[in-house]
Amino acid sequence: MYYDAPWDKSLKTMTYAVVAFFVLETIVIAIALFLTASQMTAQFITFLVVVCNIVILLFSYLYAPQGFLIDETGISIERKVAPVRIEMGSIQRVTRIERDRFMKSSRTFGNGGLFGYYGSFRNKELGSFKIYATHRDYGVLIAADKNFVVTPDRPDEFVEVVTSYVS
């Protein structure tokens, strides 16, 4: 069974703002450099800025959660590259959780709002956990060999389906 990963308003705003910022930043840097530096230097630095921005956007997009696929053997967190697999045999419990249980967390390594919220996070209640989210209003905690927080479009149904496989 497949579940979408819908973007909340905050994620849309953040992603669009960052993309707009990168475009504006490139234009401003290019203009400033072409007015003050040699043409060769201006072209080189503008090229570097463009490449860095594209790399950041590309990697953020490719690793962002796209959806969640459940089958009898496990849960697949769908991404454009390197999908994450959680085997059913490793899942101890799955529960719906509210925003305050996972959003007040420290990011130890990950992305906090460009195409998604994903990576390694930590807070007092959940300890260390991996998050693959596109929505901040609700989540599903998957307690397995590690803790995972995901945000499928139909969280209650998602919990029921996974629980039916785990039981």
pLDDT score at 77: 98
pLDDT along the chain (167 residues), means of 10: 95 96 88 76 83 94 97 96 96 90 83 93 90 92 95 96 91
pTM of the model: 0.88
pLDDT score at 17: 96
C-alpha dist (Å) from residue 162 to 79, 134, 142 = 20, 20, 9
Domain span at residue 125 reads 1-167
Residue 57 backbone class (left: φ over 0; alpha: ψ -120 to 50; beta: rest): alpha
Farthest CA pair distance, the chain: 68
DSSP, collapsed to helix, strand or coil, labels residue 72 as coil
Beta bridge partners of 151: none
Q: In which residue are the tokens 């307690």 written?
A: 143
Predicted confidence (pLDDT) per residue in 116-143, tens digit: 999 999 988 888 999 999 998 899 999 9
Q: What percent of the chain has pLDDT over 70?
A: 99
Task: Look at the chain and report how many structural domains it folds into.
Answer: 1
